[in-house]
Amino acid sequence: MTPRMLKQTLEEWSREVHVPADLADRALHRRSRLRLTRFAGVVACAAVVAAVALLVPLVVVPLLDKAPVSQVGGPPVVVPVQPYRQTTPAQDVLADTENSPPKTMIAAGRVAVSAYYTRRVRTVAGRKMLDRTWYLLDQVTGSYEKTEWGWVEVAPGLRWAAVLEKELPVRRIGIFDMETRRVRAWVPVDQPVGGVSWSPDGTRLVATAYDESPDLDRTSVDEQRCPARVAATPEDPRLPPQMISTSRTGFYVVDAATATAGDFHAVDPCLTDNSNMRRDFGWSDDGTLVREASNIWKRPDAFYDLDGRPHDAPAGYVVTESKAGVSPDGTLLAGPDGMPTKVTELSTGKVVGRQQVLQLLAWADDRRLVALGCADTCGSEFHNGLVLVGVDGEDMVQLSVYRKNSQEAGTWQPALTPR
C-alpha cells in the first residue's frame, strides 16, 4: 500500500471513530445527573484522545516519508527513479465512454492515457499563441485532475512526470511525484526550455530550449524562415511544404535521479526539414541518441549523440509513418494516417491487416493498437475518439466518448504512455 493510499484509508477510518451515546450510563449505572454529566465528558474526551493516539502515529509516518522539495541552488536531491520495466496490467482495458473530457482512467494493454490537455488560442503582442490546460492522471483515485502546469510529460510506468510552469519557456524543470502529488525536485537550467521528453527507460529527460514560446505563431517572422530543402520526387510528387522558422536553440539531457542537467547543446534550428513551430527533441528507441523528428512524409528523422553532435541513425532504424511505429516485438509496422489504415510485416512489406480508423496512435500489445476512430459512419473525420482495434481490423472497442469536433478550441487531446 502506497503512502497516499494508507493516508486516505486512515482518514476514512478516523471519520468513523465515535463515542457511543450510552457509554456514560453503562459506566455509572444511574448515578446522579451532575456526576453523570461530568463523568461522561471525561470518558468521551479520554475515548477521543485514545483514538487519536492510535491513529496519529500511523498517519504521520507516510507524511514524514516525503523528502523535502529541492530548491534552485539548494542541496542536492536524490529522486528514487527506477528504470522502467513493462509489467502485465491488472486490468487490460479501462474505458470512459460517458464523459468528455474523460473523468476516469483510460488504458488498453501496455499503454494508458496518462494526461490530456485542452487548448485555446490567445493573442500576445498581436501574434497568436496556443495555450494548453493540462489534466494529469491520479492512479489512487483513478481520475484526471486539472493542473497548474504549462507542460506535462509522464514517464513510462506512470510514477513520475516532468512539469514546466506556465508562460513557456521557463528556467527550471519540475520532477513531479505522481504518488504524493508534489514536485520532488526542481532542475535549474541556464537556457529557458519549452518541452521535455522522457527516455524509454524513464531515467532521463531531453529538455528542448527555446528563445520564446514554442507555441507562438511565427508565420510573420519572415527574416527567420528556414528554407525548404526538399523537392518533389516521383515517389513523393507532393510539393514541399513551406518551412517556418522556430525559436528552438538546442537541448539539455537531464538525469532525473539526481535532478541535474548536463551541458547545453546548441543545434541548428533549420537542420531538419520541418514545418512546425514547436520542434521538441525526443529519443531513439534504445535511448542512446537524441532524435529530431521530421514532419515531412517519408523523410528520415535526424539523430544526435548526447553531446549534441549529429549522428547516424541507429542500427535497425525504420522510417515510420504513424505515431504507433513498430510493434513491441519488432515484427509489424503501423501505416500512415487515413481511413483505412494498414499494418505491414516489417521484414516483407506485406499488408497483414487494414483497420477502419483514422490514425494508429500506440501499440497496446503485439496484435492490438490504440487508434483514433470516427463515430457512426464517419460522416466527419473530426467526430472521433479513442478505440482499441486488432491488427486484422476486428474486435474494435470504444475507449472514450467521440468528440464532436476534435479541432475545436477546448477539445481534449490525449497523451499516451507505457504503464
Return d(Cα 313, Cα 319) in angstroms, integer: 10
Q: Per the domain annotation, does 106 fall within a domain?
A: no
pLDDT tens track for 375-387: 877 778 889 999 9
Is 389 within 8 Å of 399 (Cβ atoms)? no
Asked if the structure places residue 56 within a domain, the reply is yes
Residue 15 lies in a domain: yes
Which domain does 53 fall in, by range? Answer: 3-64
Q: Which residue type sits at 309?
A: R
Residues 181-206: pLDDT tens digits?
999 999 999 999 999 999 999 999 99
On whether residue 54 sits in a domain, the answer given is yes
**Among all chains, which residue has been given the C-alpha cell 502485465?**
88
The H or E element that residue 196 is part of is strand 182-198
Give the cell for residue 195.
Answer: 518541452
Residue 200 lies in a domain: no
In a domain, 36, yes or no: yes
Cell of 144: 484526471
Q: Does some domain include residue 105?
A: no
**Chain centroid, CA 384 distance in Å:** 21
Cell numbers placing 277: 513551430
Q: In the chain, which stretches have pLDDT less than 50? A: 9, 12-13, 15-21, 23-73, 223, 239
SS3 149: coil
| 202 phi-psi bin (left φ>0, alpha ψ -120 to 50, beta other) | left
Q: How far is the first Cα of the chain from the last one, in angstroms, to the nearest whole number?
A: 18
pLDDT of residue 63: 33
- What's residue 220's pLDDT? 66
Q: Is 42 helix (H, G, I), strand (E, B) or coil?
A: helix
Q: DSSP character for 400?
A: B
Exposed / middle / buried, residue 165 (Cβ in 10 Å: 0-12, 13-18, 19+) = middle
Note whether residue 48 is domain-resident. yes
What pTM did the predictor assign?
Answer: 0.80
pLDDT at 337: 93
Q: How many domains does the chain have?
A: 1
